[in-house]
Amino acid sequence: MILCAQFYTGRNSSSVKSSTVTGILLLHQDRRTISSPKPVLPLHDDNPTRTTPYVVYGLVGANIFIFLFEMTLNQPQLRQFFHLWAMVPQELTASLQETAGAGEWLTLITSQFLHGGILHVAGNMLFLWVFGNNVEDCLGHVKFLGFYLACGIVAALSQWFFSMNSPVPLVGASGAIAGVLGAYILRFPRAEVVTLVPLGFFITTVRLPAYFFLGIWFLQQAFFSFVSLQKTEMVASGGVAYLAHAGGFLVGMLLAPLLGLFED
């Protein structure tokens, strides 16, 4: 499952269960929240490409490199690193009223390259690896990069719009990757996705059409987005920015055709 993680760096966390993930407190759900479904993972798709996805390779490499750098930092350094480069909604809101706060808007891009743990970065890069190459093949390298970053920006703004005063930093590539998924489901709805499915203590693989696999994924994000809007605390979504996922997916569906998704 791809994730945009929300990290808590404040002091008033008495109602939150937390665990240290690379020196930052990653929010977990308590009993008052709805549990996320067990993830199913795409292994690969039966959808060959005509060109080499250099941008996907570069994005995967950049995300892994930055995550490895994060692992070299101690807890205070990592906290400061996230404070500088993650998107913090309340700081973005404050920058609207400050002439010197324009740099805060850069975090809409830099936050896309930050991750909160091995599973976080691994899950995101898996989805980008499986689905990104075909979308890059359709759009071309330059347009794909612009498309990817634009989807990530709009995804982060979707989360910010509903939590403008939150002090919780937002990190992760999943808003941008959600846009890629939105483009993929439009262009290749019947492509088969080999999927890893957990069944209790057993794990199996099944072939699912992209419209089913990605359609179910989006419905989950939309549902949990609705649930998160009913809560007064961002911890209600268990530290996952579902609104960013849903927003990224929708903007991907809207933007990709304008950039030539269906042009041969």
Catalytic residue among 174, 225, 228, 237: 174
The residues pairing with 197 across neighbouring beta strands, listed in sequence order, are 204
CA distance 71 to 86: 16
Q: What are phi and psi of 261, to 5 degrees?
A: -60, -35
Annotated active-site residue 19? The verdict is: no
Helix (H) or strand (E) holding 189: none
C-beta of residue 48 within 8 angstroms of C-beta of residue 133: no
C-beta of residue 139 within 8 angstroms of C-beta of residue 259: yes
Annotated active-site residue 35? The verdict is: no
What token pair was written down for 57?
Answer: 């390779």
Catalytic residue among 158, 163, 166, 245: 245
Q: What are phi and psi of 114, to 5 degrees?
A: -110, 145
CA distance 122 to 119: 5
Residues labelled as active-site residues: 174, 245
